[in-house]
């Protein structure tokens, strides 16, 4: 049986707290998981992680809107567009309650979430730091992968991807390390030193399926999920 990857989802409601609305996930995330050999399932924000986590062999936290900067003691930047609170609270709960061995892949917002949950901070608006907006335009970029990291074992010295972010990691959470950077110094990937596979990628590998970087990332994620599944049996 294929490993099962739970993917967290966004919620859209006209009024907070109403019982009507939708949950949403970009198609490419589920396609990436399926192409890599796993079965994707969607995790709505109102699901209880305690009920769901025993059922999955990996957790994917996809992209989304911005994390509230009050969590690290700052006022909101004028460009900040906050993530749905229900999704943020749910995603935090999944990460905090996940077993140590459960593989977790965070993409864009998901990468930032891993950092903030661990006590790290973010730059609210990257153009204010690096002087350009190329990280939010989807331009194909090259990233330098740090030697000796899990990401380096997966991808080698460099990676390519498309970035669509205007927040970025400032201070790295305790227990994590930088796994990749852009040439302007922007942190583009982090990984946990305490878990076998807990990886945050700032770019969007689901947007470049078929590339060596994207296929390598998702294949490594699913392989680790298969190993975790076998260990549970």
Q: Could you give the count of Cα atoms lying within 13 Å of 37 in the half-sphere of its Cβ?
A: 14
- Cβ–Cβ under 8 Å, residues 33 and 218: yes
108 is an active site residue: yes
Any idea what the Cα angle at residue 61 is, between residues 157 and 1, rounded to 5°? 90
Catalytic residue among 135, 166, 182, 204: 204
Catalytic residue among 34, 108, 144, 195: 108
Distance CA 87, CA 90 (A): 5
Tell me how crowded residue 137 is: count the other CB atoms within 10 A of its CB: 11
Catalytic residue among 188, 191, 206, 223: 206
204 is an active site residue: yes
206 is an active site residue: yes
Residues classed as catalytic: 108, 204, 206
């Amino acid at each position: 049986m294929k490993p099962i990857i739970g993917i967290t989802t966004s919620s859209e409601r006209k009024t907070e707290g109403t019982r009507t609305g939708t949950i949403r996930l970009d198609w490419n995330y589920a396609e990436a998981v399926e192409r890599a050999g796993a079965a994707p399932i969607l995790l709505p924000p109102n699901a209880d992680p305690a009920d769901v986590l025993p059922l999955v062999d990996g957790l994917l936290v996809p992209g989304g809107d911005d994390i509230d900067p009050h969590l690290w003691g700052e006022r909101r930047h004028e460009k900040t567009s906050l993530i749905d609170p229900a999704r943020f609270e749910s995603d935090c709960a999944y990460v905090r309650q996940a077993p140590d061995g459960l593989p977790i892949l965070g993409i864009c917002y998901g990468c930032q979430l891993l950092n903030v949950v661990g006590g790290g901070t973010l730059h609210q608006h990257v153009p204010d730091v690096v002087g350009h907006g190329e990280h939010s335009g989807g331009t194909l970029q090259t990233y330098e992968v740090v030697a000796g990291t899990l990401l380096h074992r997966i991808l080698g010295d460099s990676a390519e991807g498309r970035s669509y972010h205007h927040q970025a990691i400032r201070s790295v959470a305790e227990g994590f390390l930088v796994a990749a950077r852009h040439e302007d110094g922007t942190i583009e990937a982090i990984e946990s030193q305490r878990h076998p596979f807990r990886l945050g990628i700032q770019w969007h590998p689901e947007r470049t399926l078929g590339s060596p970087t994207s296929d390598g990332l998702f294949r490594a994620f699913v392989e680790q999920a298969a190993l975790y599944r076998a260990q549970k049996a």
